[in-house]
Chains A and B, each alone.
Chain A
Amino acid sequence: MRENLSPGSKLLLVVIFFILYAPIFYLIFYSFNSGGNMINFESFTLDWYRELFHDTRLLIIVLNTLVIALLSALISTIIGVIGALVIRDFRSRQAKNTILSLNNVLIVSPDVIIGASFLILFTMAGIKLGFYSVLLSHIAFSIPIVVLMVLPKLQEMSPTLIDAARDLGASRFDVVTKVILPYITPGIFAGFFMALTYSLDDFAVTFFVTGNGFSTLSVEIYSLARQGISLNINALSALLFVFTLVLVIVYYFITQRNKPSGMGVKR
């Protein structure tokens, strides 16, 4: 096929990338506007950032969001990894497929349905809406993602590696800790990372199960945005963008570092 893209093709790609990134940079650009709106750029200021850092309520919400994200990612990674290990051991194909279909229900379900059904669940179970209901929900919708990130790694692992470890005297516990877990570490990292971003990004599910006293960043931005423009949000989005970029770069390097894992006969 062609080695170089035609000018028209290049233009199309440029337009796509422009449209994808313009709104984000637009937000960031106006976060430095002393004018107080997203229309006329008056002069450069860091006031909005300063205001942001003095807004204790918002800072607490940011902290809540981070705590929820880290905790839910951690717990869902643990449960998901164990789940994947057990699924791998399933002998019967049918049982395996059934479990996998159930696993994927929450991934394909629209957020609204997850949110609404969890709301019913927590209400019936008598769990007060707030930190715990949000945490439980985030753990719940992150588990299948972790399983999906870990399972392919487990499946690509040659079964002879386990035979080899057993052959060399490893107990079943040794096999898991000394061979399987080190092998699937990249998958575990990827799963943890995805769980983290899903949790940080989630709006709809949280919106349903958050109740009155507790809020996460997404929910907060939603209520602020419904009231109209406030450049605090711009400043916040700039910070979040930088944070996301850092995460992306970290993730990129983790996956790059783990990529050339030569194994078995692969030459």
Chain B
Amino acid sequence: MQNKFTRNVFFIPYALWIALFVIAPLLLILYYSFFDIEGNFSLINYRKFFTPVYLKMTLSSFWYAFLITLISLLVAYPTAYLLTKTKHKQLWLLLIIVPSWINLLLKAYAFIGIFGTYGVANSFLEVIGIGTQQILFTDFSFIFVSVYIFIPFMILPIFNALDELNPALVYAAKDLGASGWVTFHRVIFPLTIDGVKSGCQVVFIPALSLFMLTRLIAGNRVITLGTAIEQHFLVTQDWGMGSTIAVFLVIIMFLIMLVTGKRKRGV
């Protein structure tokens, strides 16, 4: 009896945290989504969300997030695969992760310098004869920098999945006459799909909600759901509309987690 009591006392801070900082904020967002900018209860925000302006923005946000995820995956998978083949692979992996611990803003700031009109990138283009281009504030720079930032997060789960893969399975496939490519797409890839899924999850959801990069690197050319939320909350002060977009973002987030959710298979 006394044990149960002390245990409950100890649970209070954590339970409070769940109530105040996990459940309450989600409910508050839902609550605020039903108020217009004057503070009257209405469904206008939801009606607005289904107008072409917002739907187009949602679609383009999805499109950019999709591109960023896809390119990250295409770069990360081979990299992770090669990393598992190196000696001291844990050390190399650590070196891949270190840049992700450098403040995000600093990395974005570096690219402002690199992609700037007189930056390194343009000097390079000048040298190889293409000539100076507008790089900063384009779709290209936005996607490039986003991929740059997300790459370590994509590599990590794929690396772990590949690392856990029993090498005997690869030998078995080869032994049974499978070529390199067949081995990859019939054995290695299916067995590491969980790593790919969680990689996509940790890239896609943040990519939908980036707002700092859209301002610094894309020069407001790209508007993601995140940018829109930030805009409504901090610039136009229309918390209702911001909350409505947030509600949809949360729904999308749960849907993505359902799709990429891990289903443990055998072994």
Residues of chain A whose beta carbon lies under 8 Å from any beta carbon of chain B: 1-2, 5, 9, 12-13, 16-17, 19-21, 23-24, 26-27, 30, 37-39, 79-80, 82-83, 85-86, 89, 99, 102-103, 105-106, 108-121, 124, 140, 143, 172, 197, 200-201, 203-204, 207-208, 217-218, 221-222, 225-226, 228-229, 233, 236-237, 240-241, 244-245, 247-248, 252
Contacts and interface: CB of A to CB of B under 8 A. Distances in A.
A229 B113 contact: yes
B22 A102 contact: yes
Instruction: Tell me the interface secondary structure of chain A in the complex.
Output: helix
Nearest to A22: B114
B12 to A, nearest CB: 9
Given A1-B167, A83-B14, A201-B103, A110 B249 contact: yes
B242 interface: yes
Nearest to B113: A38
A201 B14 CA distance: 24
A21 B216 contact: no
Nearest to B108: A225
Given A9-B82, A113-B29, A222-B105, A105 B22 contact: yes
Interface in B191-214: 201, 205-206, 208-209, 211-212
Interface of B: 3, 7, 10-11, 13-14, 17-18, 20-26, 28-29, 32, 75, 78-79, 82-83, 85-86, 94-96, 98-99, 101-114, 116, 118-120, 148, 151-152, 167, 170, 201, 205-206, 208-209, 211-212, 215-216, 225-226, 229-230, 233-234, 239, 242-243, 246, 249-250, 253, 257
Nearest to A23: B110
Contacts of A26: 110, 113-114, 120
A91 B36 CA distance: 45
B95 to A, nearest CB: 7
Of the candidates A26, A116, A121, the one having the most CB atoms from chain B within 10 angstroms of its own CB is: A116
Contact of A208 (B14, B99, B233): B233
B211 A204 contact: yes
A86 B7 contact: yes
B94 A110 contact: no
Nearest to B11: A86
A105 B24 CA distance: 12
16 contacts: A9-B82, A12-B78, A16-B96, A99-B18, A102-B18, A116-B243, A118-B25, A121-B21, A121-B28, A140-B17, A203-B105, A207-B234, A218-B104, A225-B216, A237-B102, A248-B101
